Structure 1
Amino acid sequence: MLIFIGLGLFDERDISIKGLETVKSADRVFLEAYTSRLMGAGTAKLEEYYGKEITVLYRENVENNPEEILLAAESGTAAFLTAGDPMVSTTHSDLRIRAEERGIKTGIIHGASIQSAVCGLSGLQNYRFGKSCSVPYPEKGWFPLTPAETIMSNMKQGLHTLVYLDIKPDRFMTVNEGIEIITEMCKRREEEPPELFVGIARAGSENPAVRAGKGSDLISYDFGGPLQILIVPAELHMMEEEYLKVFAGL
Structure 2
Amino acid sequence: MHFVEDDGSKKYPTDYNSHGSAGQRKEEFYGKELILADRETVEQEADSILKEADVCDVAFLVVGDPFGATTHSDLVLRAVKLGIPYRVIHNASIMNAVGCCGLQLYNFGETVSIVFWTDAWKPESFFDKIKKNRQNGMHTLCLLDIKVKEQSLENLMKGRKIYEPPRYMSVNQAAEQLLTIIKNRRLQGEEPEITENTICVGLARVGAPDQKIASGTLHQMSTVELGGPLHSMIVTGSMHPLELEMLKLFSVDSCSNSENNAFKRTA
Higher relative contact order (CA 8 A, sep 6+): 1
Residue correspondence of structure 1 range 205-244 to structure 2 within 5 A: 205-244=208-247
Alpha carbons 2:108, 2:140 under 8 Å: kept: yes
Give the paired residue count: 229
- Aligned residue for 2:66, secondary structure, equals coil
Q: State which structure, 1 or 2, has the greater radius of gyration over its C-alpha atoms.
A: 2
Structure 1 residues 89 and 235: CA distance shift in structure 2, 3 A: farther
The residue that corresponds to 2:151 in the other structure is none
Given that 2:16 and 2:39 are in contact with CA atoms closer than 8 Å, whether structure 1 keeps it comes out as yes
**CA separation of 1:90/1:244 partners in 2, compared to 1, >3 Å: closer, same or farther?**
farther
Q: Report what 1:57 is aligned to.
A: 37
In the other structure, the counterpart of 1:45 is: 25
- 1:158-217 Cα shifts (integer Å, max 9, x gaps): 111010001112111101111111222343444534412100001111121100101222
Indicate which of 172, 181, 184 corresponds to 1:185.
181
- What is aligned with 1:147? 126
- Alignment check: 8 A CA contact 1:145 1:189 kept: no
The answer for the alignment partner of 1:29 in structure 2 is 11
Rounded to whole Å, the distance in 1 between the matches of 2:141 and 2:23 is 28
Find out whether 1:137 has 2:116 as its counterpart.
yes
Report the equivalent of 1:173: 169
Q: 2:76 aligns with which of 92, 96, 101?
A: 96
The unaligned stretches of length 5 or more in structure 2 are 149-165, 253-259, 261-267
TM-score (structure 2 length as normaliser): 0.80
Q: Which residue of structure 2 aligns with residue 112 of structure 1? A: 92
Distance 1:247 1:50 in 2: 38
Question: Structure 1 segments of 4 or more deviating over 4 A?
Answer: none
Contact map agreement 1:174 1:226 (CA 8 A) in 2 = yes
Give the gaps of 5 or more residues in structure 1.
6-18
Residue deviations 1:204-247 (CA, integer Å, cap 9, x gap) = 11121100101222211110111111111102111100001124
**Take 2:71 and 2:134, find their aligned partners in 1: how far apart are those partners?**
25
Separation in 2 of the partners of 1:243 and 1:156? 22
CA shift in 2, pair 1:78/1:217, >3 Å: same
